[in-house]
């Protein structure tokens, strides 16, 4: 249930998007600018199986947790009350699972540049898990792998396996399989009124 502390003891082992839910490579990496993969929209099918990242590190501050709580209405004490959380299971506040997941688009767009894409749609998620907690003041990074590329009218749908890792820890704090749709110029034509037409009506579910 959103807002409840992650269950760190019963998450079943398994693979998601090519990444093991229970262990990854060491998440401690140098704080250097991430490598950016740049390709044309027509080349997206060649991305299958390719790993992107790790991304830059993002520090999870209490201010970030409080801002997310205000935006979502999830003010559970384990996220927003440092004094009470100090006596709780993790000894300090932890990030909302969906806060971690919400960083996916921004970090992925720093790792992948698609030339010729005029519209990018976050189409949803096939699976999301939070195998371990992400405490306040820790740093998190994203590693992504393209699992599949599927043709859709006017563009391509990418199935991306995402793994968020806490710096210095092997067990991921979030693993997810996310769908992104990249549309070319034909889908960004202007209507007679001058407003952009992003996607066909049948594909406008986001």
Q: What is the pLDDT of residues 153-199, one digit of tens each?
A: 999 999 999 999 999 999 999 999 999 999 998 655 433 334 444 44
**Does 39 reside within a domain?**
no
pLDDT digits (tens, 9 = 90+) for 52-88: 999 999 999 999 999 999 999 999 999 999 999 999 9
**All residues at 6 or more sequence positions from 7 whose CB lies less than 8 Å from its CB, including other chains:** none
CA distances to 2, 20, 40, 76, 134 from 13, in Å: 21, 7, 36, 28, 19
**Does 109 reside within a domain?**
yes
| CATH number of 72's domain | 3.10.129.10
Q: Can you spell out the DSSP letters for 10-34?
A: -PPP-EETTEESS--S-------PP
CA distance 131 to 77: 20
Q: What is the pLDDT of residue 42?
A: 96
Number of domains into which the chain is organized: 1
**Does 14 reside within a domain?**
no
User: In sequence order, what E strands does the chain have?
Assistant: 15-16, 19-20, 37-40, 51-52, 58-59, 112-115, 119-129, 139-152, 155-166, 172-183
**Does 134 reside within a domain?**
yes
Q: What is the pLDDT of residue 13?
A: 35
Q: How far is CA 164 from the centre of its chain?
A: 7
**Does 10 reside within a domain?**
no
Q: What is the pLDDT of residue 22?
A: 55
**Does 168 reside within a domain?**
yes
Segments forming the whole domain that contains residue 165 = 47-186
pTM for the whole thing? Answer: 0.77
- pLDDT over 50 at 7, yes or no: no
**Does 170 reside within a domain?**
yes
Q: What is the pLDDT of residue 21?
A: 55
**Does 198 reside within a domain?**
no
């Amino acid at each position: 249930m959103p807002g409840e502390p992650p269950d760190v003891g019963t998450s079943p082992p398994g693979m998601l998007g090519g990444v093991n839910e229970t262990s990854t490579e060491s998440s401690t990496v140098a704080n250097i600018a991430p490598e950016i993969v740049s390709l044309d929209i027509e080349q997206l099918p060649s991305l299958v199986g390719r790993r992107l990242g790790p991304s830059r590190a993002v520090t999870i501050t209490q201010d970030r947790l409080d801002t997310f709580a205000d935006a979502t209405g999830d003010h559970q004490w384990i996220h927003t009350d440092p004094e009470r959380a100090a006596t709780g299971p993790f000894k300090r506040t932890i990030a909302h699972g969906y806060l971690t997941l919400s960083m996916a688009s921004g970090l992925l767009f720093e790792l992948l540049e698609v030339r010729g894409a005029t519209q990018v749609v976050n189409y949803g998620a096939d699976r999301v898990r939070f195998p371990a907690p992400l405490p306040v003041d820790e740093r998190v990074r994203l590693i992504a792998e393209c699992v599949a590329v599927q043709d859709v009218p006017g563009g391509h749908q990418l199935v991306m396996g995402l793994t968020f890792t806490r710096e210095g820890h092997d067990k991921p704090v979030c693993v997810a399989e996310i769908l992104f749709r990249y549309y070319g110029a034909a889908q960004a034509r202007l209507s007679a009124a001058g407003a952009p037409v992003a996607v066909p009506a049948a594909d406008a579910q986001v």
